């Protein structure tokens, strides 16, 4: 497929009434790449990296369940547990044709940011030899309870936006823009807009469904990196900005420490993230 200035959107049905949305950026080259966004974000957060990758790879970016345009199941009770999250990534990779749609089995590179790094690791363990490379962008090697010193409820409270930021769409976009004006562009504007919904009164509310956000955070706290990463057969690369270094006892991770203004390395350091995904 040819690279897209504006990627096409598709959905793959994991099970009846449970659909995962992904952006297909096109591009050429193998192994293809699946990009997985972080908590309360969407596939659009990967736009700066996707635009760089398509010159050399076929690229898709998915919306996690409960985020973006993917469904937000409320049942069964384990809808956001590890196996379901990993299965969504595999479904997006298969539904996009990255894992082979012509009788040939192919490999994929998985890259995830923050919570998406956890999901990428879970999926890499599930895929086994079909995963060529696992790229963890500022997350995925931490035990969240240990490194944060919080429980789930305290962590969730820390995600609340100040009322003045949610007072209007303009206020929200200004807050995101002013954090680092030099990296703000049309892609960042679109990525920010995708994370909120404007109400008739003019305020904005988070687009991520509350039950999905809580369930996702609980999945983060249940994640045991030593156990999951030990099952990953592919080389593992970590890009660190705000996350601490990997704890002793983890499988080997090629860690690249980046000086950046914040957690969103796809926005602040897209060239380095792209290079890590491409490898070599």
**CA-CA distance, 243 to 114, in Å (whole number)?**
9
pLDDT tens, residue by residue, 62-72: 999 999 999 99
Q: What is the pLDDT of residue 280?
A: 62
pLDDT of 95-122, one tens digit each? 999 998 766 779 999 999 999 999 999 9
Give the C-alpha separation, 228 to 61, whole Å.
Answer: 22
What string of pLDDT tens digits covers the 280 residues of the chain? Answer: 444 478 999 999 998 879 999 999 999 999 999 999 999 999 999 999 999 999 999 999 999 999 999 999 988 778 999 999 999 999 999 999 999 876 677 999 999 999 999 999 999 999 999 999 999 999 999 999 999 999 999 999 999 999 999 999 999 999 999 999 999 999 999 999 999 999 999 999 999 999 999 999 999 999 999 999 999 999 999 999 988 889 889 999 999 999 888 999 999 999 999 999 999 6
State both tokens at 14: 């994991």
Extents of the domains making up the chain = 8-148+209-278
Residue 182 token pair: 């030099």
3-state secondary structure of 250: coil
What 3-state class would DSSP assign to 196? strand
Q: How far is CA 255 from CA 80, 109, 116, 242, in A?
A: 28, 17, 17, 13
CA nearest 250: which of 271, 269, 274, 227? 227
pTM for this model (two decimals):
0.96
Q: ∠ CA(30), CA(20), CA(104), 5° rounding?
A: 30
Pairing of strands 108-113, 59-62: unpaired
CATH superfamily of 8-148+209-278: Alpha/Beta hydrolase fold, catalytic domain (3.40.50.1820)
**Spatial distance between the Cα atoms of 228 and 235, rounded to a whole number of angstroms:** 14
- In sequence order, the 6+-apart residues with CB closer than 8 A to the CB of 201 are none
């Amino acid at each position: 497929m040819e690279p897209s200035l504006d990627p096409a959107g598709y959905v793959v049905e994991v099970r009846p009434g449970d659909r995962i949305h992904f952006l297909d950026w096109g591009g050429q080259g193998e192994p293809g790449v699946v990009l997985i966004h972080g908590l309360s974000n969407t596939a659009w957060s990967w736009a700066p990296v996707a635009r760089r990758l398509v010159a050399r790879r076929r690229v898709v970016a998915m919306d996690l369940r409960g985020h973006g345009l993917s469904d937000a199941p409320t049942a069964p009770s384990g809808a956001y547990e590890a196996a379901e999250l990993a299965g969504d990534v595999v479904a997006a990779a298969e539904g996009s044709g990255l894992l082979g749609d012509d009788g040939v089995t192919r490999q994929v590179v998985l890259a995830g940011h923050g919570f998406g790094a956890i999901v990428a690791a879970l999926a890499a363990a599930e895929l086994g030899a079909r995963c060529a490379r696992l790229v963890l962008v500022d997350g995925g090697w931490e035990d969240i309870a240990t490194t944060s010193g919080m429980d789930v409820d305290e962590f969730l409270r820390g995600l609340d936006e100040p009322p003045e930021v949610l007072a209007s769409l303009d206020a929200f976009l200004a807050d995101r823009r002013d954090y680092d004006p030099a990296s703000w562009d049309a892609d960042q504007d679109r990525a920010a807009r995708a994370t909120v919904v404007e109400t008739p009164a003019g305020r904005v509310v988070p687009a991520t469904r509350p039950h999905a956000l809580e369930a996702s955070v609980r999945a983060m706290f249940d994640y045991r990196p030593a156990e999951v990463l030990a099952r990953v057969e592919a080389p593992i690369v970590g890009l660190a900005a705000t996350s601490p270094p990997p704890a002793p006892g983890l499988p080997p991770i090629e860690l690249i420490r980046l000086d950046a203004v914040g957690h969103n390395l796809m926005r602040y350091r897209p060239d380095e993230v792209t290079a890590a995904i491409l490898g070599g």
